Amino acid sequence: MPPAIRCTNLVKRYDGRPPVDAVRGLDLVVEAGECFGMLGPNGAGKTTTIEIIEGLLTATSGEVEVLGRHWGRHDQDIKQRIGISLQETRLSEKLTVRETLQLFRSFYRQGIEPAEAMREVSLEEKADVWVRKLSGGQKQRLAVACALVGDPELLFLDEPTTGLDPQSRRQLWDIIRSFRERGRTVLLTTHYMDEAERLCDRVAIVDRGKVIALGSPRELIASLGGEHVIDFSLLNHNGPLLDPAEFSRLPAVESARLDGSGYSLSATEPHLALPALLGFLKQRGCELSSLTTRHASLEDVFVTLAGRHLDDAEAQPS
């Protein structure tokens, strides 16, 4: 079975002064049947990439193959087999949910009944309600239903849960999971770590137009060397800052780095690392102002690789 998506050395340059390279040599392979996430900060080039794969933008250079076919040669063929939810689409406010789905259904040679699409996204009760009257989460579910109504093999979701409340997010995750459980393929973009961790079989971490890490969430976290993180900061610490490298010599500590005004250690076994850390700090005459331990997340992977947090990592033009 060919991969659902294959991108080779994708480049997208937006003309301007100065020209902006949104995507700079991105490679991606999404296997059929997996839920694949592109994770990265705003401006990392995720939307540009996904829109190139969807055929809405043309790449400056590079190859794109979708379901074994190419844009420009098999457009109709590809469009019949994919479903798309864009980052923001405002559907017609004065059409009902059912009417909106009927409209979208009519574009596809084969697909599912609007009623079934509504059932998939739990909007049956809103069938005859105007789109205007829907909540943000319901609108987003309708957008996904519009993508499902053509019964696609491959589903694209660009930031599907951005701006939604926790309950709506979970509802959408369920929809995506059930789609994937039917053996279909999903490519989604997100800047939420937890979303990528819970939903995706594999994740590509994207930063500044390139894939900087690739693998299952578990693999990526494991690549940090320790599955636990110890965050701490020191009280009124005057004098020279402690060199993070000193901490990495402690038992069970794999790596250490400065994080804002505190320190962040990556540890394999906290029950060994913690007493050692406390002893070391006492010996240096330092007092703790806070200390927490937690499981490592994809956020830590991003911070380790990109040297900054996802939230404050707006892509700087360089």
Partner 1 sequence: MSLSSTRPVDSHDASRAPQPRQWPLVQIMLSRLREFYREPEAVFWAYGFPMLMVVGLGIAFRNQPVEHIAVDVQQSPAGERAAEALAKNEKFVVEVNDSEVCRRRLRTAKTAVVVIAEESSAPKYEYLYDPTRPESVLARGAVDDALQRAAGRIDPAATSDVEIDEPGARYVDFLVPGLLGMSLMAGGLWGVGFLTVDMRIRKLLKRLLATPMSKSQFLAGVMLSRLIFMVPEVVLLLIFARLTFGVKVEGSLLAVVGLILLGAVSFAGIGLLVACRAKTLEAVSGLMNLVMLPMWLLSGIFFSPDRFPAAAQPFIKALPLTQLIDALRAVMLEGLPIATQWAPISMLAAWGLVSFILALRLFRWT
Binding residues for partner 1 (CB under 8 A): 33, 54-56, 76, 79-80, 82, 84, 86, 88-92, 94-95, 99, 102-113, 116, 130, 146, 150-151, 153, 178, 181-184
Closer by beta carbon to partner 1, 103 or else 315: 103
Closer by beta carbon to partner 1, 131 or else 164: 131
Would you list the DSSP string of 301-315? Answer: HHHHHHSS-STT-PP
**Least Å from the CB of residue 149 to partner 1:** 9
**Least Å from the CB of residue 150 to partner 1:** 7
**Least Å from the CB of residue 57 to partner 1:** 8
Length in residues, the chain? 318
Closer by beta carbon to partner 1, 110 or else 318: 110
Closer by beta carbon to partner 1, 95 or else 127: 95
Helix axes 97-105, 136-148, angle to 10 degrees: 20
Closer by beta carbon to partner 1, 48 or else 304: 48
**Least Å from the CB of residue 4 to partner 1:** 11
**Least Å from the CB of residue 116 to partner 1:** 5
